[in-house]
Structure 1
Amino acid sequence: MAELVYRPVVGLALTMFKAWDLKIDCKGSENIPRSGGAVLVSNHISYLDFIFNGLAALPQKRLVRFMAKEAVFRHKVSGPLMRAMKHIPVDRRQGEAAYAHALDSLRSGEIVGVFPEATISQSFTLKSFKSGAARLAQEAGVPLVPMAVWGTQRLWTKGHPRNFRRSHTPITIRVGEAVEATRDTYAGALTRQLRERVQDLLEAAQRAYPARPKGPDDTWWMPAHLGGTAPTPEQLRAAEAH
């Protein structure tokens, strides 16, 4: 079936990236299957992560159907686009429908994109993973493909104004080897293994990232353990509890 909306949107995004002169370094796209279903699993540090996750699949000529919160589908601009691109709405109060939708997509040979942290990490470190991605892959009989993005938080992230005028921003993407989601593996153990893979890829992306803060006012996008001023996971938990 022709992708009357998805492919033009991809073309527009690529044109915008070229206009912004983003320095995109993507490695490991060959780990994304050329055919058949798969669950693409990524860290989540920006509102734009899904765009760059999808970009990593283009060399394999694949389009990714992302699971996203229902509010995005209710927006007057993004909603029609998300539906036309066959992304999957998630109502967190009634997750069964989204799970069934994603399962059907996987069984029909689609790649489904999942952020197992569920929300953006404001510490820019990995939060705990929910087990839904692992369970989906097990039930559909498809592999899990781990990946990590870095630098996207500098364009638009939670708690900071979006900055689409930021030219020349490096974006680093790393895609790892697929993880087989066998049914005889406990979903919790598979989720822990998956998180470890994403953590390794995130650290590799951070090591390869060519930019560093330009001064004391530009350290917000770096996690505390790397010398930045982003809040630590402990600080965020304390703030939420308060």
Structure 2
Amino acid sequence: MKARSETRRPSFFWLLAALVLPIMNLAVRFRFHHPERMPQSGAFVLAPNHYSEIDPVVIGVVSWKLGRAPRFLAKASLFKNPLLGWLLRTSGQIPVERAGSKSHAALRAAEELVEKGRLVVVYPEGSLTRDPDLWPMRGKTGAVRIALERGIPIIPVAHWGTQALMPRYGKKLSLFPRKTIDVIIGEPLDLGAYRGRPLDQSSLLKATAELMDAIAALLGEVRGEPAPPQRWDPTAHGQKETGRLED
């Protein structure tokens, strides 16, 4: 597959790009670090940090600019809006319930996309980070589970500057003045120690911790400061967790 061939093929994503890109290009200047690490073919899991409600739009634009059509695991409630739900379903996005068997069904749906060689974006934190300084918090196991079960790469990615476009828990965009968002693509996470072994909870949690450490290190690189040695754990701080994928 030639570079960017996925975005050059006619698809419904062209309509989405026509609607979203003009606004994002006006509001944001993307500064990419190691864009060559984004695979141009084949299935893989893209695992970004998550600290703003606008993150999916930002990562969707990043994926498109780097030559891949993004598919997300998105909150099921978003699909209840008639127009937005139609856009999400038509573009192949996957609804995810907060918990229970339907959450596991979303994992199976994501794996079907993997079988077709698609990029699947999974936020391993499951929801907006609760870390006071916007560092990645403790992750959930869904992202590494997909990668290990299907034998595909998982690529960590971090972005910084999105909070100026829409702050955590904010609902309004700040389009002007134009913002700069740094995006750094990581090397594929080395999961060699876990492949070919039973996917017990202990192994999944260890692999997920390594993924979150990799994302935090990337974020520290673009922020120009070291990441904290430990990930923020909402349960240890008496905060209720809500998320897209369960452990």
TM range (shorter): 0.7 to 0.9
Measure, in 2, the Cα distance between the counterparts of 1:85 and 1:28.
Answer: 27
Measure, in 2, the Cα distance between the counterparts of 1:165 and 1:61.
Answer: 25
Of residues 96, 120, 124 in structure 2, which corresponds to 1:116?
Answer: 124
Of residues 40, 47, 54 in structure 2, which corresponds to 1:48?
Answer: 54
Could you say what secondary structure the match of 1:67 adopts? Answer: strand
Match of 2:25 in 1: 18
Report percent identity of matched pairs. Answer: 26
Which AA in structure 2 matches 1:190? Answer: A
Of residues 38, 41, 50 in structure 1, which corresponds to 2:44?
Answer: 38
Which AA in structure 2 matches 1:184? Answer: G
Match of 2:219 in 1: 202
Residues 1-242 of structure 1 aligned to structure 2 (within 5 Å):
4-20=11-27, 22-93=28-99, 94-122=102-130, 123=132, 124-182=134-192, 183-184=195-196, 186-207=203-224, 237-238=237-238
Measure, in 1, the Cα distance between the counterparts of 2:170 and 2:68.
Answer: 32
The two structures, once aligned, show a CA RMSD in angstroms of: 2.7
Match of 1:219 in 2: none
CA deviation string 1:144-178 (max 9, x = no partner): 01001111122224433413333211111111011
Which AA in structure 1 matches 2:126? Answer: A
Give ranges in structure 2 of 5+ residues lacking alignment. Answer: 1-5, 198-202, 242-247
Superposition TM-score, scaled by structure 1 size: 0.80
Aligned residues: 219
Q: Where do 4+ consecutive residues of structure 1 move more than 3 Å?
A: 1-4, 236-241
Superposition TM-score, scaled by structure 2 size: 0.79
Give ranges in structure 1 of 5+ residues lacking alignment. Answer: 209-224, 226-231
Match of 1:220 in 2: none
Alpha-carbon spacing, 1:239–1:90, altered in 2? closer, same or farther (3 Å): closer
Measure, in 1, the Cα distance between the counterparts of 2:14 and 2:187.
Answer: 26
